[in-house]
A and B are shown apart, each in its own frame.
Chain A
Amino acid sequence: MASITQPRISPAVNTSPFYSAQLRKFAVKAMVTMLALLVAIAYLLPFGNMALISIKSADQISGSTDNNILPLSPQLYEYEGESYEVYNIPQADGTVAQWALVDKGRQSSGFIDPANPEAGLIEWQGSWRTLESVYVYDPHPENFAEAWDLINFPRLFFNTLFIAVVGMIGTLLSSICVAYAFARFPIPGKNVMFLILIGTIILPSQVTLIPTYAFFASIGWTGTWLPLIVPHFFANAYNVFLLRQFFMTLPRELDEAAMIDGAGPFRVLMAIIIPQSWPAIISVGLFHFIFAWNDYFGPLIYLLGKPDLVPQATSIMAMVLPLLIFVLAQKIFMRGVVVTGVDK
């Protein structure tokens, strides 16, 4: 902290030599970036764990208690039509030979040297149980293909995409209008209504679930996509809250200037509020997309109820699109940060 907090001296008086200031700047940069790297590693470790499990077979996952990090399987050697495990055998001269265990015995065992099978059985004195197995890298990428087939991925992908995008459009149109109303208009009882809006976030969704389901059933919408899409055209409390908080940080001077120039409320929204709010609007769009994606996938994965290894592969596939969208939206973020406040 001390290195970041600079002494309060006039910038005009440079007390330190030029190279020292450069060096300090570099040191701060290196420290900050190192910290960011450490955080990133911590955040990526669970992904790494999952990625390696996703290419393990069921045997490799539940095999032994001292499980390997990598998807490893014991190396096997084919001899006279049978498979035998290969072990590391310490030799008298200090080297380690890799022989296949063919004839297990308590005091001594018979091995075959895969490099020289014609030599026949080699007798080795000692318990084979003390020997270490030879492991080979043995990934199972076919887990992904299995998961792909199991959940009919392409159709699911399109369904989810459609529901997410249409819902996103709906929630953006409606939430921006409602947030604008709350942030800028003198509506009687506005504060009470805003508290009610917050209240709808708090309400455990289970309370409204049964009556809402009954409502959709009575108008014949169950079994269609409509219950997943239409409610989003009526504004979402989370989104209204975020956008309203953001609109409140925008100075009113620009609105007022535009209104004096004759702009109506809709014009002010389109020309003044929205252009200043792209970071918040993109965030809301992004949040909704992820919500819709996760919401649809969750129940589906739930219903399948397959063994652990399938979700590891499926969860990677489920993450690909949101990740891609976010990386692309990053650029819009960079361009869209136009919240400059009032230029004086």
Chain B
Amino acid sequence: MSAADQSRAAPASSKAQITERRRSDLARQQRIWGWIFLSPWLIGFTIFTAVPIFVSLIFTFMEFSLSSDAAPRFIGLDNWIKLFNDPVAINALGVTFRFALIAVPVGIILPLAMAALLNSKHLVGKILWRPLYYLPYMVPAISSIFIWQAFLNGQTGWLNRVLRGIGIQEPPNWFQNESTILFAFLLMGVWGIGNSMLTMLATMQGVPTELYEAAEVDGAGAFTKFRSITLPMISPVIFYNLVLSVIGIMQYFVVPYVITRGTGNPNNSAYFFNMHLYKTSFTFFDMGYGSTQAWFIFIIALVLTVVLFGTSRRWVYYASGE
């Protein structure tokens, strides 16, 4: 700014100074436009996120129950100490991580494979397959739960009918069995990957065909083209889906909550961290301890995201060079 003022004050600017002034004017203008385009989010963030988060952060240091008339009381770190000594919370965190370890890789590789399949030039009837694969993502979560409770029913569900048909004598009762319930949730998740698949497919279709043509001239086969062109070109979208699936699983709630009717049974094997959070906040109305759990899972998810962003420089490629 001051450089611009000085050059304006100079009576006879040299050509270099004019260019310099124009460039800094342009940069300032660009910044102003940037703030203008950013403003909807800045306003919304303040009203709907920043202030409520701040309020809930304060709650983590308070004893604040909606079920009693007692006024909120400052209790320092008591809620945090309680959290680290709460075996139910620690178990719930374990369940969440165990599920994430299988669900995150599957949730990236499978939609990628399906997008590649739909993008294949050898595929006949593309217009038919895409909506079919995407269809489950349209199903409202609650309906999808009813569908899967029927589909995975131990006696009458179609999955077990198929399994019995191919000779498996006693297929499991998926949602009632400690060792299969997380796998059943995974199946439900895999059913609804239309979202990830579609973003990957949309980006695959945006990869300039010149790149493939050039590679073909160089004699590259289909696999080489996929590994050396498609994957790097769509890596921003893979990264996007990776971050979202990690975050999504840290917030996983509706499916286990409805299917286990809030219990997380059998034997707490499906008691996810957010179910504990929900129970604390909206069953016992212990808003202070609930906010502490919310803040705890938020910090974990944030750390994981920062780690992912740290690795992204090694493998995510942006065409515009950032």
Contacts and interface: CB of A to CB of B under 8 A. Distances in A.
Interface of A: 1, 4-6, 8-11, 25, 28-29, 32-33, 35-36, 39-40, 43-50, 53, 65-67, 69, 173-174, 177-178, 180-188, 190, 193, 195-208, 210-212, 215, 231, 233-235, 238, 240-242, 245-246, 248-252, 264-266, 269, 279-280, 283, 287, 290, 293-294, 297-298, 301-302, 308, 311-312, 314-315, 318-319, 322-323, 326-327, 330, 333-334, 337, 339-342, 344
A207 B52 contact: yes
Nearest to A287: B195
Q: Which 3 A-B pairs have the closest CB atoms?
A: A234-B44, A315-B143, A185-B34
Nearest to A177: B37
A207 B236 contact: no
Contact of B117 (A39, A184, A202, A290): A39
B140 A231 contact: no
B9 interface: no
B132 A204 contact: no
B52 A235 contact: no
B297 to A, nearest CB: 6
A238 B222 CA distance: 33
Contacts of A204: 250-251, 274, 277, 294, 297-298
A181 B38 contact: yes
B221 A8 contact: yes
Contacts of B141: 294, 298
A198 B140 contact: no
Contacts of A234: 40-41, 43-45, 47-48
A250 B320 contact: yes
B183 interface: no
A48 B151 CA distance: 9
Given A36-B117, A44-B132, A312-B147, 12 more contacts: A193-B38, A199-B302, A201-B244, A203-B49, A207-B53, A207-B298, A208-B48, A245-B240, A298-B140, A301-B142, A315-B140, A315-B144
27 contacts: A4-B221, A4-B222, A6-B222, A11-B216, A32-B120, A39-B133, A45-B159, A65-B155, A177-B38, A178-B37, A178-B40, A185-B34, A186-B27, A190-B34, A206-B281, A207-B295, A210-B281, A233-B40, A242-B240, A250-B319, A250-B320, A269-B37, A294-B141, A312-B147, A319-B138, A334-B127, A340-B209
